[in-house]
C-alpha cells in the first residue's frame, strides 16, 4: 500500500464528522442516493421558474443536477432566497433525491431547505454569459475561452464546464506521467529554475535581474539532470520551463509544463521506447479515468484507443523533408521543421510518428553526433497526428569531454556557464540520453483543444501575464 501504514482517509474513519462536504453531485447522478435525503453544496448554474416553484441547476466539481423548490414545502422565506439567488451564488440545498428520467443525468433533488452561502450582488451579476462564451475568430472558427474578455476574466472562466473538463484531463495526464516513471523505478529529481546559460539556444531566453548579476529562467531541466546521471541513472521531473517565445501559434506558451527524463547507458531507440510508453500511458489513462469528459468534448475515442494501443512508426528527417517537398512545401535540408511544416506533414498521420536523425546544424550542442554519419545527430522528435506536430524532443547526449568541447566551439558557445556540465564528462562520463515532453501540448492534442491555452489555468504568452 502507498505510504506504508499512513492513514490515507482524511476523516480517520469518521466519515461525515470532520468533512465539510460528504455528498457529491456526480455520485447522486450515479444513483448512490436514490430516494435518500441529502445535503448538496455547490453553485447555481441556471435558475428559472414561477412564483410557486423554482428550478435550479446546481453544479459542483463532479457534475450538475436539477433541483426543484416548491413554495409550499420550503416556506416563504427560503423560497424568496431561492428566487433571488443569482447565477454562481454558492448554496446548500437539503432535499430528497428522486429518479427522474426527464432530468439531465436522470435524477432530481426535491428541495426542503435552502441556505445561501455566498450571494452574488444583483448590481454585479456573474459577467460570463452564453453570448460571451460563444466566440469565433476572424475566420468564423470557434475559439473557446479565447476572446480578450474571457482571457481578462480567466479567474471566473475557470469554472465553466469546458475549462473544468480540460483541467480534469490535465490532472489525469500529470498522474499518468508520474505513474509511468515511478513504475519504471525512475527517481523524481528537481533542477533550479534560475540558471546561467541556455539549453535550447539564446533566442528564447528570459533574462531576469539577479542581485548584481543577470540570470535566466530555465528552458529545460536537462543539463542539471545530466549532472546527476552518475548518481541516480534514471531520472524524471515535471516542472515549468520558460521560453521567451514570440510565436503566436496554437501550441506555444512562454511558461509551459515540461515532463523530462534522462537515462544512463541508453540509446536513442531505448529513449524513444520510453517516449512512446509514456504517451501511450497518458492516452490509456485518459480513456480509463476520463471517458465521459472526452465524450463531452466530442473526441473520437477510437482514435485515442489507437494512440494508446499501437506502436508509433519511425522515419528519418530526410524522409520527412522528401514528403514535404513532394507536397510542394518549400523546405531546405538542414532547417529545423517549424509548426507550419509539421502541421502539413502530420495532417494525414493516424498515429504519432518519431522523426529521427536531424541534421547536426539544426540542433543544439548537447545532441550526440551520429558516429555513422557526422552530418546527423542521434535524436528524435515525436510528432502528434491530426496536424498537431511536435510533442517530444530528445535523443542521445554528447558524452565525451573532447566531443562536448568541440561541439560548444563549433556553435561559438562560451564554456564558462557550462563548466559544471563539461565536468560531468571529465569524471566517468557515460553514454546517456533523455527527452522532454510538453505536457500542455499532449493534453491539448488529446483533448482536441483549439489552442494550448485551453488546457492550462492561467496561460502565459508573449501578449499576456495577467490575471
Ligand atoms: O524540443 P525542446 O525544446 O527540447 C528540450 O527542451 C530538451 N532539452 C528536452 C530534453 O531532451 N530533456 O522541448 C521539449 C518539448 C517540445 O517537444 C514541446 O512539446 C515542449 O517541450 N515545448 C513547448 N510547449 C509549449 N510551449 C512552448 N513554447 C514549448 N517549447 C517546447
Ligand atoms: Mg524541439
Give the CATH number for residue 306: 3.30.930.10
Ligand 1 atom 6, closest CA:
220
* Distance separating alpha carbons of residues 335 and 174, to the nearest angstrom: 32
pLDDT of residue 209: 97
Same domain (yes/no): 72, 164:
no
Same domain (yes/no): 112, 167:
no
Q: Which ligand 1 atom lies nearest to the CA of residue 245?
A: 28
DSSP calls for 181-221: HHHTTPEE----SEESS-SS-GGGPEEEEETTEEEEE-S-S
Q: Which ligand is nearest to the CA of 452?
A: 1
| CATH code of residue 56 | 2.40.50.140
**Pocket test residue of 245, 441, 455 for ligand 1, highest count of atoms within 8 A of CB:** 441
How far, in Å, is the centroid of ligand 2 from the Cα of 143?
26
258 touches ligand 1 (CB under 6 Å): yes
Instruction: Write down which residue in 118, 142, 170 finishes a domain.
Output: 118
Same domain (yes/no): 330, 425:
yes
433 touches ligand 1 (CB under 6 Å): no
Q: Is residue 187 part of a domain?
A: yes
Contact between 47 and 6 under an 8 Å Cβ cutoff? The reply is no
28 touches ligand 1 (CB under 6 Å): no
Q: Is residue 9 part of a domain?
A: no
Domain span including residue 267: 160-455
pLDDT of residue 201: 85
439 touches ligand 1 (CB under 6 Å): no
Q: Is residue 123 part of a domain?
A: no
pLDDT tens, position by position, for the chain (467 residues)? 444 556 565 555 555 444 799 999 999 999 999 999 999 999 999 999 999 999 999 999 999 999 999 999 999 999 999 999 999 999 999 999 999 999 999 999 999 999 999 999 999 999 999 999 998 988 898 999 999 999 999 999 999 999 999 999 999 999 999 999 999 999 999 999 999 988 888 889 999 999 999 999 999 999 999 999 999 999 999 999 999 998 888 999 999 999 999 999 999 999 999 999 999 999 999 999 999 999 999 999 999 999 999 999 999 999 999 999 999 999 999 999 999 999 999 999 999 999 999 999 999 999 999 999 999 999 999 999 999 999 999 999 999 999 999 999 999 999 998 999 999 999 999 999 999 999 999 999 999 999 999 999 999 999 999 99
* Distance separating alpha carbons of residues 308 and 294, to the nearest angstrom: 14
Same domain (yes/no): 181, 45:
no
pLDDT of residue 198: 86
Report how many domains make up the chain. 2
Same domain (yes/no): 48, 110:
yes
Q: Name the DSSP letter for residue 85.
A: P
pLDDT of residue 249: 87
**Pocket test residue of 197, 256, 396 for ligand 1, highest count of atoms within 8 A of CB:** 256
Instruction: Write down which residue in 118, 149, 175 finishes a domain.
Output: 118
How far, in Å, is the centroid of ligand 1 from the Cα of 240?
11
391 touches ligand 1 (CB under 6 Å): yes
**Pocket test residue of 393, 440, 462 for ligand 1, highest count of atoms within 8 A of CB:** 393
How far, in Å, is the centroid of ligand 2 from the Cα of 368?
15
Angle between helices 339-346 and 317-326 (to 10 degrees): 80
Same domain (yes/no): 410, 340:
yes
Q: Is residue 193 part of a domain?
A: yes
How far, in Å, is the centroid of ligand 2 from the Cα of 232?
25
Question: What's the grid cell of residue 454?
Answer: 485551453
Same domain (yes/no): 112, 176:
no
Q: Is residue 153 part of a domain?
A: no
Same domain (yes/no): 113, 187:
no
How far, in Å, is the centroid of ligand 2 from the Cα of 381?
7
197 touches ligand 1 (CB under 6 Å): no
Q: Which ligand 1 atom lies nearest to the CA of residue 392?
A: 17
Cα distances (Å, whole numbers) of residue 359 to 13, 37, 380: 60, 68, 11
Q: Which ligand 1 atom lies nearest to the CA of residue 391?
A: 19
Contact between 58 and 104 under an 8 Å Cβ cutoff? The reply is no
Closest to 385 in 3D by CA, of 345, 341, 435, 433: 345
Strands of the sheet containing 213-217, edge to edge, are 194-195, 213-217, 206-210
226 touches ligand 1 (CB under 6 Å): no
Same domain (yes/no): 324, 207:
yes
Amino acid at each position: 500500500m502507498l505510504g506504508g501504514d499512513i492513514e490515507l482517509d482524511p476523516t480517520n474513519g469518521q466519515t461525515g464528522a470532520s468533512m465539510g462536504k460528504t455528498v457529491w453531485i456526480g455520485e447522486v447522478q450515479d444513483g448512490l442516493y436514490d430516494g435518500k435525503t441529502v445535503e448538496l453544496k455547490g453553485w447555481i448554474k441556471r435558475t428559472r421558474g414561477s412564483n410557486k416553484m423554482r428550478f435550479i441547476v446546481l453544479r459542483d466539481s463532479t457534475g450538475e443536477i436539477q433541483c426543484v423548490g416548491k413554495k409550499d414545502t420550503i416556506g416563504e422565506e427560503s423560497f424568496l432566497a431561492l428566487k433571488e439567488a443569482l447565477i454562481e451564488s454558492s448554496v446548500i440545498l437539503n432535499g430528497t433525491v428522486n429518479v427522474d428520467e426527464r432530468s439531465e443525468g436522470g435524477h432530481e433533488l426535491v428541495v426542503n431547505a435552502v441556505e445561501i452561502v455566498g450571494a452574488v450582488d444583483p448590481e454585479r451579476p456573474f459577467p460570463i454569459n452564453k453570448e460571451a462564451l460563444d466566440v469565433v475568430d476572424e475566420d468564423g472558427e470557434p475559439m473557446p475561452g479565447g476572446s480578450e474578455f474571457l482571457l481578462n476574466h480567466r479567474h471566473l472562466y475557470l469554472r465553466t464546464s469546458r475549462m473544468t473538463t480540460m483541467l480534469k484531463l490535465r490532472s489525469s495526464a500529470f498522474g499518468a506521467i508520474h505513474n509511468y516513471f515511478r513504475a519504471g523505478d525512475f527517481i523524481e529529481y528537481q533542477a533550479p529554475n534560475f540558471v546561467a546559460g541556455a539549453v535550447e539556444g539564446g533566442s528564447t531566453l528570459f533574462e531576469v535581474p539577479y542581485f548584481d548579476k543577470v540570470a535566466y529562467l530555465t528552458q529545460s531541466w536537462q543539463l542539471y539532470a545530466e549532472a546527476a546521471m552518475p548518481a541516480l541513472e534514471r531520472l524524471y521531473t515535471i516542472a515549468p520551463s520558460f521560453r521567451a517565445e514570440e510565436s503566436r501559434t496554437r501550441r506555444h506558451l512562454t511558461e509551459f509544463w515540461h515532463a523530462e527524463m534522462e537515462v544512463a547507458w541508453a540509446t536513442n531507440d531505448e529513449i524513444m521506447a520510453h517516449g512512446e510508453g509514456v504517451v501511450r500511458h497518458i492516452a490509456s489513462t485518459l480513456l480509463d479515468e476520463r471517458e465521459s469528459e472526452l465524450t463531452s468534448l466530442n473526441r473520437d475515442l477510437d482514435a485515442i484507443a489507437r494512440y494508446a494501443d499501437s506502436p508509433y512508426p519511425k522515419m528519418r528527417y530526410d524522409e520527412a523533408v522528401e514528403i514535404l517537398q513532394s507536397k510542394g512545401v518549400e523546405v531546405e535540408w538542414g532547417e529545423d521543421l517549424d509548426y507550419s511544416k509539421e502541421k502539413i506533414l502530420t495532417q494525414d498521420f493516424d498515429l504519432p510518428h518519431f522523426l529521427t536523425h536531424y541534421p547536426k546544424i539544426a540542433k543544439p550542442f548537447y545532441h550526440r553526433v551520429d558516429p555513422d554519419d557526422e552530418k546527423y545527430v542521434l535524436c528524435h522528435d515525436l510528432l502528434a497526428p491530426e496536424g498537431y506536430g511536435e510533442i517530444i524532443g530528445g535523443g542521445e547526449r554528447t558524452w565525451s569531454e573532447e566531443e562536448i568541447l568541440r561541439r560548444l566551439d563549433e556553435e561559438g558557445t562560451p564554456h564558462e556557464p557550462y563548466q559544471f556540465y563539461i565536468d560531468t564528462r571529465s569524471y566517468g562520463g557515460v553514454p546517456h540520453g533523455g527527452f522532454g515532453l510538453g505536457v500542455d501540448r499532449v493534453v491539448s492534442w488529446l483533448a482536441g483543444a483549439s489552442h494550448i491555452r485551453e488546457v492550462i489555468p492561467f496561460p502565459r504568452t508573449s501578449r499576456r501575464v495577467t490575471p
